[in-house]
């Protein structure tokens, strides 16, 4: 029994060992399944990662090529019309070569397209241009297909780039400095003296002084690369004139700097506010390249003076009103200054001359002929210059469209006509002029044209010399001489007295006065300024 019992126990151990081995074998099988599943997931993930990486690499390469190609093409816009660029075979060749340099050859799944258009920086929208429209941006779209390595099919991917050509131009309209001469100085100097507190006629000495815009703004603590900040800044009259003097002195122009220093000491209202946005306009994309823009020292002084005066009328002293010896003439002037300088502008940007109002009264006595009271109210709207075109190449071009300031002239006249010492008739008349139509195209080609050299659009006068004079009423207050009529009396008054008087006022006072204020009825001086160029490009989309 003991022996049998002893034999039974090993059998039990064998039975127990078999269960353990079977459990171990089951665990090994489960591990293999888990490993197989993990390997499958891992291989799938690796395959996905590889394919995704290839897609990402392709997208990155497409974007880089699109960026470079768009920039290359934007440099070749050169201010031309859309139709001219489309017709230029060299533009298409430049497109293909730029792609090839960056390893992209169109064909099959590789597709490259380009479009010309306008980029609106405010809305960040690209709009396609056509025909005569002038594009300032190029859109390039590249498409390619990436076949998957570890899965059927593939992925078609596209990338787009928009590059804008920062074509910029600068100009001024209505220069005061361009019109300082023997006929205008006696009119302009007293007006400036009444604002600036200096009566000596020395302001003309500033004409020709060159003030670079960058250093001028630097003296005011401003950066030309931040045009919005500049345009929204107010300075005082004394700050502006001191900054102007500092720039002139730094450039070695000591005499003009000293003249400005003397002016500053005499200012009756040194803290008058000067909004820089009323002095000039800086294009939104203006950068440090605009620092070289030159503004005449006299223009800065005069513009600032009229800005500081606001909309108040200025009375010309009697000594300044010289109308052929005609006595009894008084003149008052109001100058509403507009920003007459555009720096770093784009097509469509504008500058304007000042808006001028003149109130003129004349009391004239022609013994034995007539006593005349004449009032002229003249309102000259601003002449507006608009950048129409900018061209680049071996020569640079700038096209400015000038819309002239139309003038409204209201000239009521009353006269008492005499026959010898005896009054004969009271006559009421009015003079009217035909408003000059006026849209002018001013085109500069540099060279042979030069920067800072103005071009006169027109020298047309007010037109009072050719005014139509109409009789409103005529009342006989004496006895008509035998054989004469009242109509004959009024006709003789108009032809013999009124018309010559109007012509004298036009030529001797009104036309020189408007010229002194930087404008004429039918035009203004237009001056090209630096910078002017088409080479600046940047990615915008």
Interval 521-539: pLDDT, tens: 556 789 998 888 765 678 8
Compute, in degrees rounded to 10, the torsion defined by CA atoms 71, 73, 79, 83: -150
Q: Residue 253 above 80 pLDDT?
A: yes
pTM over 0.75: no
Alpha-carbon Rg for the chain, nearest whole angstrom, is 40
Q: What is the rounded CA–CA span in Å between residue 115 and residue 130? A: 10
Q: Residue 321 above 80 pLDDT?
A: no
Measure CA 471 to chain center: 46
The three-class DSSP label of residue 226 is coil
The backbone torsions φ and ψ at residue 392, rounded to the nearest 5 degrees and listed phi first, read -130, 165
Compute, in degrees rounded to 10, the torsion defined by CA atoms 298, 301, 306, 308: 180
Q: Tell me the torsion sign for CA atoms 325, 326, 328, 333.
A: negative
Q: What is the rounded CA–CA span in Å between residue 270 and residue 432? A: 42
Residues 6+ positions from 46 with CB-CB distance below 8 Å:
none
H helix intervals, 450-497: 486-493
Written in H, E and C, the secondary structure of 96-149 is HHHHHHCCCCCECCEEEEEEEEEEECCCCEEEECCCCCCCCEEEEEEEEEEECC
Say which residue, 344 or 36, is predicted with more confidence: 344
Residues 6+ positions from 213 with CB-CB distance below 8 Å:
224, 280, 290, 291, 292, 293, 294, 295, 343
The whole-chain average pLDDT of the chain stands at: 80
The three-class DSSP label of residue 463 is coil
Instruction: Band the pLDDT of 12: cuts 50, 70, 90.
Output: very low
Element (H, E) at 216: helix 213-219
pLDDT of 79: 73
Q: What percent of the chain has pLDDT over 90?
A: 13
104-163 pLDDT, tens digit per residue, is 888 878 889 999 998 887 788 999 999 988 888 999 998 988 766 655 656 788 889 998
Number of H helices, E strands in the chain: 13, 25
| pLDDT, average across residues 230-242 | 91
pLDDT of 427: 92
Contact 429, 469 (CB under 8 A): yes
Q: What is the rounded CA–CA span in Å between residue 342 and residue 279? A: 10
Q: What is the rounded CA–CA span in Å between residue 118 and residue 83? A: 14
The three-class DSSP label of residue 27 is helix
| pLDDT, average across residues 356-378 | 81
Query: Parallel, antiparallel, or unpaired for β 350-352 and 341-345?
Result: unpaired
Q: Tally Cβ neighbours within 10 Å of residue 462.
A: 27
Q: Residue 3 above 50 pLDDT?
A: no
| pLDDT, average across residues 504-512 | 82
Closest CA to 296 of 396, 393, 206: 206
Contact 206, 195 (CB under 8 A): no
Element (H, E) at 341: strand 341-345
Instruction: Band the pLDDT of 28: cuts 50, 70, 90.
Output: low
Paired with 376 in beta bridges are 360
Q: Tally Cβ neighbours within 10 Å of residue 87.
A: 11
* Token pair 């012509």 in the structure block, residue: 503
Q: Residue 4 above 50 pLDDT?
A: no
Burial classification of residue 263, based on how many CB atoms lie within 10 Å of its CB (0-12 exposed, 13-18 middle, 19 or more buried): buried
Instruction: Band the pLDDT of 428: cuts 50, 70, 90.
Output: very high
Contact 255, 315 (CB under 8 A): no
449-506 pLDDT, tens digit per residue, is 998 888 887 655 566 667 788 899 999 888 888 778 888 888 888 888 888 888 888 8
Closest CA to 529 of 427, 453, 439: 453
Contact 87, 504 (CB under 8 A): no
Tokens of 518: 């930087």
């Amino acid at each position: 029994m003991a022996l049998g019992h002893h034999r039974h126990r090993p059998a039990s151990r064998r039975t127990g060992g078999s269960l353990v081995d079977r459990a171990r074998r089951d665990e090994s099988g489960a591990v293999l399944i888990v490993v197989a599943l993990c390997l499958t997931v891992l291989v799938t993930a690796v395959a996905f990662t590889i394919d995704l990486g290839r897609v990402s690499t392709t997208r990155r390469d497409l974007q880089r090529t699109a960026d470079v190609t768009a920039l290359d093409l934007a440099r070749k816009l050169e201010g031309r019309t859309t139709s001219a660029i489309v017709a230029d075979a060299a533009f298409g060749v430049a497109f293909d070569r730029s792609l090839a340099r960056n390893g992209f050859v169109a064909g099959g799944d590789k597709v490259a397209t380009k479009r010309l258009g306008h980029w609106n920086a405010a809305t960040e929208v690209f709009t396609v241009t056509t025909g005569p429209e002038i594009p300032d941006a190029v859109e390039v779209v590249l498409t390619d297909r990436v076949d998957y390595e570890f899965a059927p099919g593939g992925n078609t991917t596209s990338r787009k780039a928009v590059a804008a050509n920062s074509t910029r131009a600068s100009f001024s309209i209505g220069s005061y400095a361009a019109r300082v001469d023997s006929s205008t100085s006696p009119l302009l100097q007293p007006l400036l003296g009444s604002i600036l507190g200096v009566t000596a006629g020395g302001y003309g000495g500033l004409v020709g002084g060159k003030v670079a815009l960058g250093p001028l703004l630097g003296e005011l603590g401003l950066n030309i690369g931040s045009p919005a900040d500049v345009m929204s800044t107010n300075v005082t009259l004394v700050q502006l004139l001191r900054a102007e003097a500092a720039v002139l002195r730094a450039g070695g122009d000591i005499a003009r700097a000293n003249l400005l220093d003397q002016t500053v000491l005499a200012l009756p209202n040194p803290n008058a506010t000067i909004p820089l946005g009323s002095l000039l306009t800086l294009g939104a994309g203006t950068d440090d390249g605009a620092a070289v823009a030159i503004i005449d020292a006299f223009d800065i002084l005069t513009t600032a003076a009229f800005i500081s005066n606001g909309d108040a009328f200025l009375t010309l002293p009697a000594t300044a009103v010289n109308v052929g010896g005609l006595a009894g003439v008084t003149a008052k002037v109001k100058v509403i200054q507009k920003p007459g300088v555009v720096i770093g502008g784009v097509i469509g940007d504008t500058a304007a001359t000042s808006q001028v109002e003149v109130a003129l009264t004349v009391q004239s006595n022609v013994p034995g002929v007539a006593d005349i009271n004449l009032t002229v109210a003249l309102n000259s709207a601003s002449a507006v210059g608009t950048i129409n075109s900018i061209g680049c190449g071996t020569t640079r071009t700038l096209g400015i469209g000038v819309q002239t300031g139309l003038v409204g002239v209201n000239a009521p006249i009353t006269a008492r006509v005499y026959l010898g010492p005896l009054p004969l008739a009271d006559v009421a008349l009015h003079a009217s002029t035909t408003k000059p139509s006026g849209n002018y195209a001013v085109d500069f080609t540099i060279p042979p044209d030069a920067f800072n050299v103005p071009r006169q659009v027109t020298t047309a006068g007010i037109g009072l010399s050719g005014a139509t004079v109409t009789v409103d009423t005529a009342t006989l207050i004496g006895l008509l001489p035998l054989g004469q009529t009242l109509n004959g009396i009024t006709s003789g008054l108009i032809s013999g007295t009124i018309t010559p008087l109007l012509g004298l006022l036009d030529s001797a006072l009104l036309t020189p006065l408007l010229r002194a204020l930087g404008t004429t009825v039918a035009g203004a001086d237009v001056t090209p300024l630096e910078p002017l160029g088409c080479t600046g490009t940047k990615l915008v989309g």
